Amino acid sequence: MTINQTSITKYQACIDACNKCLQVCNQCFNSCLQEPDAKARANCIKMLRLCADVCNLAIQTMSMDHTESKYICNVCRTICDACATECFMFKDNHCQQCATVCHECANACANMQG
C-alpha cells in the first residue's frame, strides 16, 4: 500500500500551518490558564481549544485527501481568524505569538479555497 504523494503535497503547506497553529494554541491555552486574569480570558481560552480542535480536524481531513477538505479548511480559516482576534486583545508574548500564528494559518486555509 502506497501513499498518494500528490494528495499530500498539494495540502502540505496548509497541513504544516494547521499543525503549528494547533501546537501554539495548546501552549497558549496552558499559559492563559496560569495568568492571574484567567477568568477575564475565558472567551480566549475557549477559542484556543476550539481552534486547536478544528486545526486537528483540518489536518486529518487533508491527510485523507477527503472531498470535504476545502469545506473544513474554510471553517478552520474562520475559527483561526476569530482566535487571532481574541488572542490579540491580550498583550503578553504567548497571546501575541498565538494571534500571529492563527492569522498565518487562516491565510493558509484561505489558499485552499482556490
Cα–Cα dist 15/83, whole Å: 18
- Please check whether residue 101 lies inside any domain of the structure: yes
Would you place residue 39 in the very low, low, confident or very high pLDDT band (cuts 50, 70, 90)? very high
- Whether the per-residue pLDDT at 114 is higher than 80: the answer is no
Across 8-12, 27-31, 41-45, 66-70, least confident range: 8-12
Asked whether 38 and 88 are in contact (CB, 8 A), the reply is: no
CATH code assigned at 18: 1.20.1270.360
Domains in the chain, number: 1
- Whether the per-residue pLDDT at 74 is higher than 50: the answer is yes
| Mean pLDDT, rounded, for 85-98 | 97
Residue 15 sits at the vertex; the CA angle it makes with 9 and 21, to the nearest 5 degrees, is 160
- Please check whether residue 47 lies inside any domain of the structure: yes
For residue 6, with 0-12 CB atoms within 10 Å meaning exposed, 13-18 middle and 19 or more buried, which class applies?
exposed
- Please check whether residue 7 lies inside any domain of the structure: no
Range of the domain at 19: 13-111
- Please check whether residue 2 lies inside any domain of the structure: no
Would you place residue 1 in the very low, low, confident or very high pLDDT band (cuts 50, 70, 90)? very low
Q: What is the average pLDDT score of the chain?
A: 92
- Please check whether residue 5 lies inside any domain of the structure: no
| Mean pLDDT, rounded, for 15-21 | 98
Cα–Cα dist 43/86, whole Å: 7
- Please check whether residue 8 lies inside any domain of the structure: no
| Mean pLDDT, rounded, for 2-18 | 76
